[in-house]
Each structure stands twice: as C-alpha cells, then as structure tokens.
Amino acid sequence: MLDSTDNHLLDLLQRNARLSYAELGKAVGLSVSAVNERLKKLDAQGYVEHYTVRINAAQAGFDVCAFIHVLLITPEYEDKFLQRVSELQEIQECHHITGEFSYLLKVRVRTTAALETFLKQGLKTVPGIARTHTAIALSSPKETSNLPILSNILP
C-alpha cells in the first residue's frame, strides 16, 4: 500500500523523471538515501514501468495522429494480430475495447501518405482483420500519460 509520500514521489516523477534525488527529497521532506530506498521499493513493486522522455511529435515531424478501430473476424486471430501490433513502430497504443470493434490503435506517422502506406502494407496485411475505421486527429489540445495520483487518494 502506498502512503502519501510514495504518491507524492510518483506524482513528481511522472511530471519530470529528471529530478534528482536531492530535489525529490526536498519536495517530500526526505533525505537522498530515503528517496533512493523508496524509489527502489516502488520499482520492485511494479509501480514504475520505466523512465522515459516524451518527445514533441509535431516538432519531430510526426504531424499525423490517427485512431484506428480494428475489427477481427474471430478471436482466433488475436495472437497474430497482437504480435504484429507489437512489431509496428507507428502504433503507440493498442486497446482491447468494447462495442462494435475489437481494438483501438493510436498511430503516429509523418504524413497522410505514410498513414496510407502503414494501412496498406502494415496493418491490413495482418490475417484476420475484417475491417478498420480510421479517424485523423486535427489537433490534440490535451495529451498526457500522467495519472491523477494525488487527487485520487482516499482519506
């Protein structure tokens, strides 16, 4: 079970994983060694998946963000589909969903021509796909992977 200090550390890290242990300690009132021990514990318990940098997609030239609904013919095709999804670097997220479709993919590419190539040569070559439906995001006013850790703490 996480205490308020653990939650505060996780919140700080998800906002800026480059903070030093000294900066983290100052923010939560712990020594550098105590921060180190807590972070080791949080890592070992699986609370932290990995430390990363989020790149500005548009600045890096990935101007097209598309959401693709995928309908599989039958569940027997799921393993091959998921294997192919893990191989396609353009796919940032894959979600098994309820409703008419089987999966929802978030894809980033540089151009609409690259999206067309991805659909034709990447995604639609996977056996078992009955159909897809693609929506291109015109803009993304909010995009984050941060969780509302501090606002959901139970009393």
Predicted confidence at residue 153, as pLDDT, reads 53
> What confidence score (pLDDT) does residue 151 get?
84
| CA–CA gap between residue 109 and residue 61 (Å, rounded) | 8
The confidence band for 91, taking pLDDT boundaries of 50, 70 and 90, is: very high
- Which CATH number fits the domain 64-137, given the four candidates 3.40.50.300, 3.40.109.10, 3.30.70.920, 3.90.1150.10? 3.30.70.920
Confidence of residue 152 (pLDDT cuts 50, 70, 90): low
Fold of 4-53: Arc Repressor Mutant, subunit A (1.10.10)
Name the band, by pLDDT with cuts 50, 70 and 90, for residue 1: confident
Q: Average per-residue pLDDT in the chain?
A: 95
Q: How far apart are CA 49 and CA 32, in angstroms?
A: 22
Q: Could you read off the pLDDT of 13-67 as tens digits, one per residue?
A: 999 999 999 999 999 999 999 999 999 999 999 999 998 889 999 999 999 999 9
Domain ranges for the chain:
4-53, 64-137
Across the range 86-111, mean pLDDT stands at 98
Q: How far apart are the first and last CA of the chain?
A: 13
Residue with tokens 């909010």: 142
